[in-house]
């Protein structure tokens, strides 16, 4: 394995670890927020990875983040884990499509990904409970998507300004 490939794997492992830490912190920070609303700070890492490396790497980092965070927070195979999977899957697919087919600014991409994350979560919980009874709550979740998407997008932009991309290649 070449030096460049090894370096990339190491950086992706470190970024995965950071995403796991941020996801776990977010899990415990979010309790004062309305039910189900999270800051989404782990998504900062997804934005960084998709910008620096690409969509394939972002999917890998998000996969490890969700699985390992589920283990660490004790939610693995709990409905909240399934909601996280649904949200991460939909937001990752949309993020990949937006990065490939648009020139939208990172903050706009982040807001749209946050919205899709919440839509994915609501779809999963509706499926799990076999009812659309919680669907009106989507409006609370979507309203929260805008400030959290802005926060994660702006933070990712600031990190990208301070990081030398060449280091990661």
Averaged in consecutive runs of 10 residues, what is the pLDDT profile of the chain (169 residues)? 86 96 84 73 96 95 94 86 93 96 96 95 88 82 93 96 73
Closest Cα partner for 56 from 106, 87, 96, 26? 96
Task: State the chain's mean pLDDT as an integer.
Answer: 90
Q: How much is the pLDDT for 18?
A: 96
pLDDT of the residue at 22: 94
Residues contacting 101, CB < 8 A, separation 6+? none
Calculate the CA dihedral of residues 116, 168, 24, 55 and round it to 10 degrees: 20
What total of structural domains would you count in the chain? 1
At 94, which CATH number? Answer: 1.10.1760.20
Per-residue confidence (pLDDT) for residue 115, from 0 to 100: 96
What is the domain extent for residue 92?
A: 3-168
Q: What is the pLDDT of residue 140?
A: 87
pLDDT for the residue numbered 4: 85
């Amino acid at each position: 394995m070449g030096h460049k490939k090894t370096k990339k794997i190491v950086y992706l492992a470190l970024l995965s670890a950071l995403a796991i830490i941020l996801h776990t912190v977010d899990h415990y920070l979010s309790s004062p927020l309305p039910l189900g609303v999270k800051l989404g700070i782990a998504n900062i890492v997804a934005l960084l990875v998709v910008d620096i490396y690409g969509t394939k790497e972002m999917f890998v980092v998000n996969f490890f983040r969700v699985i390992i965070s589920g283990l660490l927070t004790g939610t693995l195979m709990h409905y909240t884990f399934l909601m996280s999977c649904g949200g991460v899957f939909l937001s990752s697919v949309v993020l990949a499509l937006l990065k490939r087919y648009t020139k939208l600014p990172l903050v706009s991409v982040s807001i749209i990904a946050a919205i899709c994350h919440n839509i994915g979560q609501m779809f999963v919980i509706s499926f799990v409970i076999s009812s659309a009874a919680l669907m009106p709550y989507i409006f609370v979740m979507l309203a929260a998507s805008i400030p959290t998407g802005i926060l994660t997008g702006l933070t990712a932009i600031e990190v990208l300004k301070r990081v030398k991309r060449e280091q990661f290649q």
